[in-house]
Chains A and B, each alone.
Chain A
């Protein structure tokens, strides 16, 4: 099973700042990695797929990069609604796995 490790657990930033979230895989997943955003009480929303492709209707301030074992989600300028939890997910191998999540909270 591929283990995805997200860091940090919590990221404390202010609105307008840049957020950099990390996801590291226990073995290569090529570019088969996605990022999701989850707001309290809601289902997750797909943000980025195949490491760097924005999903439909996702704002340009969200971008993804990386390949192999190291991936990054960048939020260029945090909006108030971005202070929630983010998860990565790989589809390179069964079983599909998610990272443990990073919470972005207001400093």
Chain B
């Protein structure tokens, strides 16, 4: 059974930093591209960042480029998102999502975690 378990969310002040983690199990993590997708309270979905299976390629939404860094450790089956210079508009549930194909990086998402809430407030 595929499982994605996010952690690392919490309350942080504007300008602060957090590192989100996503522990994956039940599939061959090292052979799939992964992404982070966020959802502000009561709002729609926003793709944030994606990474290829081997970490060679990374992609970011314009709203987070230069502030967020995606990475992965295939030996630990874990995906990360380092988020810096946090703003109030970054407040959201952050979901880890698995790409639907073994090849490619621009994908759909067939499995999602339960999400971790990041709240940016003073």
| Given contact pairs A43-B112, A94-B106, A87 touches B44 in the complex (Cβ within 8 A) | yes
Interface residues of B in 31-69 (CB under 8 A from A): 35, 37, 44-47, 50, 59-62
The count of chain A contact residues (Cβ–Cβ below 8 Å) is: 25
- Cα A36 to Cα B113 with chains together (Å): 15
Q: Looking at the complex, which one of A1, A95, A99 makes contact with B60 (CB distance below 8 Å)?
A: A95
- Cα A80 to Cα B46 with chains together (Å): 27
- Cα A4 to Cα B60 with chains together (Å): 18
Which residue of chain A has its CB nearest to the CB of B65? A95
Which residue of chain A has its CB nearest to the CB of B4? A43
Judging by beta carbons under 8 Å apart, are B47 and A98 in contact?
yes
CB B86 to nearest CB in A, in angstroms, measures 20
Judging by beta carbons under 8 Å apart, are A43 and B114 in contact?
yes
Which B residues fall within an 8 A CB radius of A? 35, 37, 44-47, 50, 59-62, 95, 100, 106-110, 112-115
Which A residues fall within an 8 A CB radius of B? 1, 32, 34, 36, 38, 43-46, 49, 55-56, 87, 89, 91-101
